[in-house]
Structure 1
Protein backbone atom coordinates (compact mmCIF):
# COMPACT_ATOMS: atom_id res chain seq x y z
CA UNK A 1 0.00 0.00 0.00
CA UNK A 2 1.50 3.35 -1.00
CA UNK A 3 1.49 6.44 1.22
CA UNK A 4 -1.60 8.03 -0.39
CA UNK A 5 -3.57 4.81 0.09
CA UNK A 6 -2.42 4.63 3.73
CA UNK A 7 -3.49 8.24 4.35
CA UNK A 8 -6.90 7.69 2.77
CA UNK A 9 -7.51 4.46 4.71
CA UNK A 10 -6.40 6.10 7.97
CA UNK A 11 -8.67 9.12 7.49
CA UNK A 12 -11.71 6.98 6.61
CA UNK A 13 -11.17 4.65 9.56
CA UNK A 14 -10.14 7.13 12.23
CA UNK A 15 -12.65 9.87 11.30
CA UNK A 16 -15.48 7.32 10.96
CA UNK A 17 -16.24 8.29 7.35
CA UNK A 18 -18.48 5.25 6.96
CA UNK A 19 -20.01 6.18 3.60
CA UNK A 20 -16.66 6.82 1.91
CA UNK A 21 -14.50 4.23 0.18
CA UNK A 22 -10.81 5.23 0.45
CA UNK A 23 -10.21 4.22 -3.18
CA UNK A 24 -12.86 6.71 -4.34
CA UNK A 25 -11.23 9.76 -2.70
CA UNK A 26 -9.87 12.12 -5.35
CA UNK A 27 -6.24 13.04 -4.60
CA UNK A 28 -6.87 16.68 -5.61
CA UNK A 29 -10.31 17.13 -4.00
CA UNK A 30 -10.45 19.55 -1.07
CA UNK A 31 -10.61 17.89 2.34
CA UNK A 32 -12.80 20.66 3.80
CA UNK A 33 -15.98 22.42 2.70
CA UNK A 34 -18.89 21.19 0.63
CA UNK A 35 -16.69 19.76 -2.12
CA UNK A 36 -14.46 16.75 -1.60
CA UNK A 37 -14.68 15.08 1.81
CA UNK A 38 -16.61 17.89 3.49
CA UNK A 39 -14.61 17.81 6.71
CA UNK A 40 -14.80 20.57 9.34
CA UNK A 41 -12.48 22.30 11.82
CA UNK A 42 -12.87 19.56 14.43
CA UNK A 43 -11.76 17.03 11.84
CA UNK A 44 -8.71 19.23 11.13
CA UNK A 45 -7.61 18.96 14.75
CA UNK A 46 -8.07 15.21 14.64
CA UNK A 47 -6.10 14.93 11.38
CA UNK A 48 -3.16 16.80 12.94
CA UNK A 49 -3.12 14.22 15.75
CA UNK A 50 -3.45 11.31 13.29
CA UNK A 51 -0.59 12.56 11.12
CA UNK A 52 1.65 12.67 14.16
CA UNK A 53 0.50 9.31 15.52
CA UNK A 54 0.52 7.24 12.33
CA UNK A 55 3.04 9.01 10.09
CA UNK A 56 5.43 10.66 12.59
CA UNK A 57 5.08 14.08 10.95
CA UNK A 58 4.13 17.12 13.01
CA UNK A 59 2.19 20.14 11.83
CA UNK A 60 3.75 23.04 13.73
CA UNK A 61 1.31 25.92 13.18
CA UNK A 62 -1.88 27.10 11.48
CA UNK A 63 -0.11 28.29 8.32
CA UNK A 64 1.64 24.95 7.85
CA UNK A 65 -1.63 23.15 8.57
CA UNK A 66 -3.61 25.15 6.02
CA UNK A 67 -1.08 24.27 3.33
CA UNK A 68 -0.81 20.59 4.29
CA UNK A 69 -4.53 19.94 4.77
CA UNK A 70 -5.76 21.10 1.37
CA UNK A 71 -5.98 17.69 -0.33
CA UNK A 72 -4.62 14.15 -0.20
CA UNK A 73 -1.79 15.26 -2.51
CA UNK A 74 -0.77 18.16 -0.25
CA UNK A 75 -1.00 15.97 2.83
CA UNK A 76 1.13 13.28 1.19
CA UNK A 77 3.77 15.85 0.19
CA UNK A 78 3.82 17.27 3.73
CA UNK A 79 4.30 13.83 5.29
CA UNK A 80 7.06 12.90 2.83
CA UNK A 81 8.92 16.15 3.60
CA UNK A 82 8.51 15.93 7.38
CA UNK A 83 8.78 12.27 8.35
Structure 2
Protein backbone atom coordinates (compact mmCIF):
# COMPACT_ATOMS: atom_id res chain seq x y z
CA UNK A 1 0.00 0.00 0.00
CA UNK A 2 1.01 3.54 -0.75
CA UNK A 3 2.63 5.53 2.09
CA UNK A 4 0.46 8.59 1.40
CA UNK A 5 -2.68 6.45 1.59
CA UNK A 6 -1.49 5.11 4.95
CA UNK A 7 -0.88 8.66 6.21
CA UNK A 8 -4.36 9.72 5.12
CA UNK A 9 -5.96 6.72 6.85
CA UNK A 10 -4.12 7.61 10.07
CA UNK A 11 -5.21 11.24 9.64
CA UNK A 12 -8.85 10.16 9.23
CA UNK A 13 -8.70 8.00 12.37
CA UNK A 14 -6.99 10.69 14.45
CA UNK A 15 -8.94 13.71 13.16
CA UNK A 16 -12.31 12.01 13.64
CA UNK A 17 -11.45 10.16 16.87
CA UNK A 18 -12.19 6.75 15.39
CA UNK A 19 -10.33 4.91 18.16
CA UNK A 20 -12.10 1.63 17.41
CA UNK A 21 -10.74 1.58 13.85
CA UNK A 22 -7.33 0.77 12.41
CA UNK A 23 -5.77 1.57 9.04
CA UNK A 24 -6.60 -1.96 7.90
CA UNK A 25 -10.29 -1.28 8.54
CA UNK A 26 -10.35 1.50 5.94
CA UNK A 27 -10.16 0.26 2.36
CA UNK A 28 -8.48 2.75 0.04
CA UNK A 29 -11.36 2.52 -2.44
CA UNK A 30 -14.19 2.30 0.10
CA UNK A 31 -16.51 5.33 0.08
CA UNK A 32 -15.89 7.60 3.07
CA UNK A 33 -19.54 8.67 3.24
CA UNK A 34 -22.85 6.81 3.17
CA UNK A 35 -22.65 3.04 2.85
CA UNK A 36 -18.87 2.93 3.19
CA UNK A 37 -17.17 4.38 6.25
CA UNK A 38 -20.35 6.26 7.16
CA UNK A 39 -18.87 9.73 7.65
CA UNK A 40 -21.14 12.78 7.64
CA UNK A 41 -20.83 16.47 6.74
CA UNK A 42 -19.34 17.39 10.13
CA UNK A 43 -16.71 14.69 9.63
CA UNK A 44 -16.00 16.14 6.17
CA UNK A 45 -15.42 19.57 7.69
CA UNK A 46 -13.09 18.20 10.37
CA UNK A 47 -11.23 16.09 7.81
CA UNK A 48 -10.87 19.11 5.53
CA UNK A 49 -9.32 21.10 8.38
CA UNK A 50 -6.94 18.23 9.21
CA UNK A 51 -5.88 17.95 5.55
CA UNK A 52 -5.25 21.68 5.41
CA UNK A 53 -3.11 21.57 8.57
CA UNK A 54 -1.07 18.54 7.49
CA UNK A 55 -0.70 19.16 3.75
CA UNK A 56 -1.65 22.81 3.25
CA UNK A 57 -4.47 21.85 0.92
CA UNK A 58 -6.85 24.62 -0.04
CA UNK A 59 -10.46 23.53 -0.51
CA UNK A 60 -13.11 25.84 -1.90
CA UNK A 61 -16.37 25.55 0.03
CA UNK A 62 -18.51 25.89 -3.08
CA UNK A 63 -16.30 23.79 -5.36
CA UNK A 64 -18.32 20.98 -6.92
CA UNK A 65 -15.17 18.85 -7.11
CA UNK A 66 -14.78 18.77 -3.32
CA UNK A 67 -17.29 15.93 -3.00
CA UNK A 68 -15.34 14.01 -5.64
CA UNK A 69 -12.05 14.57 -3.77
CA UNK A 70 -13.59 13.21 -0.57
CA UNK A 71 -14.98 10.06 -2.23
CA UNK A 72 -12.34 7.73 -0.76
CA UNK A 73 -8.73 7.52 0.44
CA UNK A 74 -7.47 7.10 -3.14
CA UNK A 75 -9.15 10.33 -4.28
CA UNK A 76 -7.80 12.22 -1.24
CA UNK A 77 -4.30 10.94 -2.01
CA UNK A 78 -4.71 12.09 -5.62
CA UNK A 79 -5.78 15.53 -4.37
CA UNK A 80 -2.72 15.83 -2.12
CA UNK A 81 -0.46 14.76 -4.98
CA UNK A 82 -2.14 17.13 -7.45
CA UNK A 83 -1.43 20.08 -5.18
CA UNK A 84 2.15 18.91 -4.77
CA UNK A 85 1.78 18.70 -0.99
CA UNK A 86 2.77 15.09 -0.37
CA UNK A 87 5.55 14.76 2.18
Structure 2 length normalisation: TM-score? 0.85
- The more displaced of 40-49 and 18-27 is 18-27
CA contact (8 A) 1:4 1:73 kept: yes
CA contact (8 A) 1:5 1:23 kept: no
Question: When you count helix as a share of all residues, which structure comes out higher?
Answer: 1
Aligned pair count reads 82
Does residue 23 of the first structure (1) align with residue 16 of the second (2)? no
Residue 49 (structure 2) aligns with? 49
Residue 67 (structure 2) aligns with? 66
4+ aligned runs moved over 2 Å, structure 1: none
Question: Mind listing any 5+ residue stretches in structure 1 that lack a counterpart?
Answer: none
Higher relative contact order (CA 8 A, sep 6+): 2
Question: Mind listing any 5+ residue stretches in structure 2 that lack a counterpart?
Answer: none
CA RMSD after TM alignment: 1.4
Structure 1 length normalisation: TM-score? 0.89
- Residue 53 of structure 2: SS of its match in structure 1? helix
- The more displaced of 56-65 and 39-48 is 56-65
How far apart are the structure 2 equivalents of 1:22 and 1:16? 13
